[in-house]
Amino acid sequence: MLYQRVLITGANGMLGQELVALMSRVPRYDVLATGRDEGPRFSGASCGYLPLDVTDPEAVRRAFLDFTPGVVINCAARTHVDGCEDDRDTCWKVNAVAVEHLARQCHGLGARLIQVSTDFVFDGEKGPYRETDRPRPVNFYGKAKLAGENAARDAGIDKWAIARTNVVYGAGEAMPRSNFVLWVIDKLSKGEPVNIFTDQWRTPTYARDLAAGIERIARFGKTGVYNLSGRDFVTMYDFAQAIARVFDFDASLIHPTTSAAFKQKATRPPRTGFIILKAETELGFKPRSIDEALRHLGTRLGLPVTTS
Ligand SMILES: NC(=O)c1ccc[n+]([C@@H]2O[C@H](COP(=O)([O-])OP(=O)(O)OC[C@H]3O[C@@H](n4cnc5c(N)ncnc54)[C@H](OP(=O)(O)O)[C@@H]3O)[C@@H](O)[C@H]2O)c1
């Protein structure tokens, strides 16, 4: 059997853990998980692990020379959107410059680079977006991620792919950060109120489905931009209501608010979300509905879920 060597960066993060779990189970892939930590945060995956800070070009070069990957999936990112406004330098180094290092090494080896990106490359005036729509970021995180997208193209013609996604939720082991669904579950399960935006529209994405879409980009050797998200276009308020419904929490704890009333450090684009037709037709990407995904997640977390 011909093995495909797959190097995953940011493997200890939410998406990274899902990708490692999925791809290390497939005999065709020889997976090297890499992350900033000394060891993996996940257990049970049959793959190698290497500590790797993607902002260190020499360490990236050595990792590429030793492992000679055929595919690199870049899940490493500074994902704290408000934190990126405060610490622009780190945000730019991780989300933009590090992708230049990765693309350069991919180009040298003839490896493919799959760069994970975000709806925040758009201004949110006209969502849901297609792959061909023109980016115009409104915060620093979005600007840095857009620069990262552009850098990924330097891997070479037919060697780069960009997987754009939004509002990713899921579960993992010792995850570095929480996510919207886990946060809402935590609050509502304690009977605590939450204020949720009625004017921010998204297509929330179950991390396990996103990983399945990215694996298909790798498997089919696809090039170009792919929108990989859920297909339900909802406000964050509607999404929180779905969480309350599926986990049988008191929905009256969810208070509607607006971006104008509840200021955040980084401007949020109002209407993003994605049209995923290209991924559905070219990759056979089939994300679960919000309710199905939440039930699946609930079962993994050992939480009781309603049946309809
Ligand atoms: N989560 C979302 O809602 C969302 C939405 C749109 C797009 N995305 C994109 O999806 C991708 C995966 O995000 P995620 O949700 O899995 O985020 P995450 O859980 O925050 O994972 C990101 C990982 O990158 C690591 N990392 C940060 N700086 C690094 C460095 N210099 N070298 C190596 N690793 C580094 C982090 O490690 P530390 O914990 O040590 O910092 C973390 O393990 C990112 O490209 C993100 O921009 C996510």
Specify the pLDDT at position 4. Answer: 96
Confidence band of 307 (pLDDT split at 50, 70, 90): confident
Please give the number of the atom of ligand 1 that sits closest to the Cα of 148: 45
Q: Which of 7, 19, 20, 36 to mutate to test the pocket of ligand 1 (most atoms within 8 A of CB)?
A: 36
Whole-number Å distance between alpha carbons of 286 and 280: 6
What is the sign of the dihedral through the CA atoms of 176, 292, 115 and 17? positive
On whether the 4-168+203-227 domain is CATH 3.40.50.720, my answer is yes
- What pLDDT shows up at residue 61? 98
pLDDT tens per residue across span 290-303:
999 999 999 999 99
Contact predicate 139/82, CB 8 Å: no
pLDDT for the residue 107: 98
How many angstroms separate the alpha carbon of residue 165 from the centre of ligand 1? 12
Cα 194 to Cα 129: distance, rounded to the nearest angstrom: 28
- What is the atom index within ligand 1 of the atom nearest the CA of 76? 24
Q: What distance in angstroms lies between residue 176's CA and the mean position of ligand 1's atoms? A: 9
Q: Model confidence over 42-92: pLDDT tens digits?
A: 998 889 999 999 999 999 999 999 999 999 999 999 999 999 999 999 999
Q: Is 118 a pocket residue for ligand 1 (Cβ < 6 Å)? A: yes
Is there an atom of ligand 1 within 6 Å of 165 CB? yes
Q: What is the DSSP string of 281-292?
A: HHH---PPPHHH
8 Å CB contact between 243 and 181:
yes
Distance in angstroms (rounded) separating the CA atoms of residues 132 and 24:
32
The whole-number pLDDT of residue 262 equals 87
Hey, is 51 helix, strand or coil? Answer: strand
Tokens 């620069």 sit on residue: 147
Over the chain, what is the mean pLDDT?
Answer: 97
Mean pLDDT, residues 262-284: 96
Structural domain boundaries in the chain? 4-168+203-227
Q: What percent of the chain has pLDDT over 70?
A: 100
Do 171 and 302 meet the contact criterion of CB atoms below 8 Å apart? no
Q: How far, in Å, CA of 302 to CA of 299, rounded?
A: 5
**Any atom of ligand 1 within 6 Å of the Cβ of 177:** yes
For 147-202, how does the pLDDT look when each residue is reduced to its tens digit (9 = 90+)?
999 999 999 999 999 999 999 999 999 987 899 999 999 999 999 999 999 999 99
Phi-psi map region of 304: left, alpha, beta (phi>0 left; psi -120 to 50 alpha): beta
Read off the pLDDT band of 266 (50, 70, 90): very high
Q: What pTM was estimated for this model as a whole? A: 0.98
Å from CA of 14 to ligand 1 middle: 7
Cis amide linkage into residue 128, ω under 30° from 0: yes
Ligand 1 nearest atom to the CA of residue 164, by list position: 7
Confidence of residue 263 (pLDDT cuts 50, 70, 90): confident
Three-class secondary structure of residue 85 per DSSP: helix
Q: Are 70 and 112 in contact (CB under 8 A)?
A: yes
- 12 CB under 6 A from ligand 1? yes
Ligand 1 within 6 A of CB of 269: no
**pLDDT at residue number 1:** 67
Give the residue-averaged pLDDT of 112-135.
Answer: 98
Mean pLDDT of 109-132: 98
Which residues does the annotation mark as catalytic? 141
